[in-house]
Amino acid sequence: MFWLLFSVFLVACLGAGATGGLFPPGPWYRALNKPWFTPPDWVFPVTWLVLYLCMATAGARVAMTEGAGLALALWALQIAFNGLWTPVFFGLRNIRLGMAVVSFLWLTVFFAMVAHWQVDTLAGVLFVPYLVWVTIAAALNAGVWRMNPDAARNPPDVAS
C-alpha cells in the first residue's frame, strides 16, 4: 500500500513540477538582475526532484495512518499552490504576484509540516527541506523584485 500511495503522491508532485519544464527560465529571466545567492538553473529541477520524493514519502506514510485527514488536506493544499508559482512567475512574468503566491505557498507548507509531524514524526521531518527551499525561493523572488523594479511594475500582457 505504501508504494501505491507513494506513486499517487509522486505523480501529483510531477504534475505540479511539470510547470517548471513548461515555463522554463527564458531570455526575460536571464536579463533580470538576480541576488548573489541565486543558484544556477540546473539546481532547481534537481532540488525539486529530491523534495518531491520527500513529500511523496511523507504523504504516503501519513496516508497509512489513522486520523491523518487534516494533514492530507494540507498536503493537497500545498501541491495546488506549488504548481501555481512557475506559471505566474515565468509564464505571466509577474514578479509581484509570484511573491504573493510563494508567500502563501510557504504558509501552506508550514502548516502541512506541522500537521504531518503530529501524525508521524518522520513525515514532518521530510517537510523541513521543502520549507527551507520555499524560504530560499521566496527570498529569490523578493530579491528579483527589489533589483528589477521596472520589470516588477510592468508585467507583459499575456492575454494578447
Report the nearest approach of its own copies to the CB of residue 9 (Å). 6
**C-alpha to C-alpha distance for 138 and 140, rounded to whole angstroms:** 5
Report the nearest approach of its own copies to the CB of residue 21 (Å). 11
Residues 105 and 78: beta-carbon distance below 8 Å: yes
> What is the DSSP-derived secondary structure letter of residue 154?
-
3-state secondary structure of 100: helix
Smallest Cα–Cα separation from 133: which of 32, 35, 33, 54?
54
Smallest Cα–Cα separation from 78: which of 38, 39, 50, 114?
114
Report the nearest approach of its own copies to the CB of residue 94 (Å). 8
**C-alpha to C-alpha distance for 59 and 105, rounded to whole angstroms:** 17
Question: Between residues 84 and 126, which has the closer beta carbon with respect to its own copies?
Answer: 84
Query: Cell 511523507 belongs to which residue?
Result: 58
Report the nearest approach of its own copies to the CB of residue 113 (Å). 14
Question: Between residues 43 and 100, which has the closer beta carbon with respect to its own copies?
Answer: 100
Instruction: Provide the binding-site residues for its own copies, judged by CB under 8 A.
Output: 1, 4-5, 8-9, 11-13, 15-16, 18-19, 22-27, 59-60, 62-70, 72-77, 79-81, 83-84, 87-88, 91-92, 97, 158-160
**C-alpha to C-alpha distance for 72 and 149, rounded to whole angstroms:** 38
Question: Between residues 101 and 144, which has the closer beta carbon with respect to its own copies?
Answer: 101
Which cell numbers hold the place of 26? 527564458
Question: Between residues 100 and 146, which has the closer beta carbon with respect to its own copies?
Answer: 100
Question: Between residues 19 and 141, which has the closer beta carbon with respect to its own copies?
Answer: 19
Report the nearest approach of its own copies to the CB of residue 3 (Å). 12
